[in-house]
């Protein structure tokens, strides 16, 4: 387990040892859920029918991060390590894959290939699994802190900012966000979409860090942290007052990235289906409960088996 894994895992509270483990998972599930409702007629019934599995599996990649080697690097890319060439999409094409800096954009492309294959072969369970996982990875690249080596503010004395931005703020304010969006659209260039999303996320970082400091100044260090009730558990962390101040200073940034993630996920699910020849999924709309059971069993097996090694 790398330091990065351990630190973010602790912030998100999603290391498997941590009991209920919904910390940080809330937004992933909500984003996948809203993406389903943007799908066109040929896909919507299938995804709606398997909604429960799609939500459960949407957090699997984070659960896997702590037990499967090579998983962690699929969730991020440290774009600040490529200052000369990584500021625009065409320049990104010259970036070579370096696993020490994260491989998020290449992983998106791999996941789209897998999902397209699953559609083409009509592999019912794998369509659900890959859709859920692609949704997870796409959500991650919409988070500015997934695009920098200062991923938790540890280099700027802002430790904890990762969980604040991607977990605490959505949990507090998602209900206020307008997540009604236009229908999914066909994506001509998946690599371009992935890289441009990452660049946009990266461009948000200045305000992510700067406004955290400004909110601290306005609220005061002594009121920045406190105890609050989280899912019935008394938790110590950023106070609601501080979180609200930071959220206000960000002027809708979290909401904009979330909206963008929902639209992007829905559109890439749709694109993979079209690229597979738009197969009819009607015969596959059967037995969601038993399928979910089978999927969860295979997931436990996958994680458990790796854990033994």
Binding site for Zn ion (CB under 5 A): 62, 75, 140
**Taking the complex as a whole, how short is the minimal distance between the CB of residue 60 and Zn ion, in angstroms?**
10
**Taking the complex as a whole, how short is the minimal distance between the CB of residue 306 and Zn ion, in angstroms?**
17
Total Cβ atoms within 10 A of residue 169: 22
As a whole number of angstroms, the distance between CA 255 and CA 172 comes to 12
As a whole number of angstroms, the distance between CA 191 and CA 117 comes to 17
Tokens representing 14 are 């999603």
Tokens representing 267 are 């559109």
CB distance 90 to 257 below 8 Å:
no
Residues for the chain: how many in total? 309
Nearest residue to Zn ion, using CB?
A: 75
Cα–Cα distances in Å, from 156 out to 222, 246, 292?
A: 19, 17, 43
**Taking the complex as a whole, how short is the minimal distance between the CB of residue 67 and Zn ion, in angstroms?**
14
107 phi, psi to nearest 5 deg:
-65, -35
**Taking the complex as a whole, how short is the minimal distance between the CB of residue 76 and Zn ion, in angstroms?**
8
Q: Which is nearer to Zn ion, 12 or 208 (CB)?
A: 12
**Taking the complex as a whole, how short is the minimal distance between the CB of residue 129 and Zn ion, in angstroms?**
16
Q: Which is nearer to Zn ion, 198 or 211 (CB)?
A: 198
Task: Mention every residue, 6+ apart, whose C-beta is less than 8 A from residue 77.
Answer: 101, 102, 103, 104, 105, 141, 146, 147, 198
Q: Which is nearer to Zn ion, 109 or 183 (CB)?
A: 109
**Taking the complex as a whole, how short is the minimal distance between the CB of residue 75 and Zn ion, in angstroms?**
4
Q: Which is nearer to Zn ion, 66 or 242 (CB)?
A: 66
Q: Which is nearer to Zn ion, 62 or 171 (CB)?
A: 62
**Taking the complex as a whole, how short is the minimal distance between the CB of residue 273 and Zn ion, in angstroms?**
24
Q: Which is nearer to Zn ion, 4 or 75 (CB)?
A: 75
Q: Which is nearer to Zn ion, 62 or 212 (CB)?
A: 62
SS (H, E, C) 134-178: HHHHHHHHCCHHHHCCCCCCCCCCCCCHHHHHHHHHHHHHHHHCC
Cα–Cα distances in Å, from 82 out to 88, 93, 209, 260, 286?
A: 11, 12, 20, 24, 47
């Amino acid at each position: 387990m790398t330091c990065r894994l351990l630190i973010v895992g602790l912030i998100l509270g999603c290391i498997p040892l941590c009991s209920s483990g919904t910390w940080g998972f809330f937004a992933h599930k909500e984003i996948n859920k809203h993406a389903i409702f943007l799908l066109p007629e040929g896909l919507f019934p299938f995804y709606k029918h398997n909604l429960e599995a799609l939500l459960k599996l949407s957090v699997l990649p984070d659960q896997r991060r702590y037990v499967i080697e090579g998983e962690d690097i699929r969730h991020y890319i440290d774009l600040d390590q490529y200052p000369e060439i990584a500021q625009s999409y065409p320049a990104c094409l010259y970036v070579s894959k370096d696993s020490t800096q994260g491989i998020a954009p290449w992983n998106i492309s791999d996941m789209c290939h897998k999902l397209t294959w699953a559609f083409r072969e009509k592999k019912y369970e794998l369509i659900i699994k890959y859709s859920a996982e692609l949704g997870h990875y796409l959500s991650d690249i919409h988070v500015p802190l997934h695009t920098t080596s200062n991923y938790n503010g540890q280099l700027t004395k802002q430790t904890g900012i990762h969980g604040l931005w991607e977990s605490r703020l959505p949990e507090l304010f998602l209900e206020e966000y307008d997540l009604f969006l236009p229908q999914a659209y066909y994506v001509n260039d998946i690599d371009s979409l992935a890289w441009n999303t990452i660049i946009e996320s990266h461009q948000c970082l200045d305000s992510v860090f700067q406004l955290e400091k400004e909110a601290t100044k306005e609220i005061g260090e002594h009121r920045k942290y406190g105890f609050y009730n989280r899912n019935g558990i008394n938790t110590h962390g950023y106070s609601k007052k501080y979180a609200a101040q930071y959220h206000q200073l960000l002027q809708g940034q979290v909401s904009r990235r979330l909206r963008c993630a929902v639209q992007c996920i829905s559109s890439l699910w749709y694109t993979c289906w079209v690229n597979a020849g738009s197969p009819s999924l009607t015969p596959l709309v059967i037995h969601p409960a038993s399928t979910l059971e089978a999927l969860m069993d295979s997931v436990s097996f996958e994680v458990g088996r790796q854990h033994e090694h």
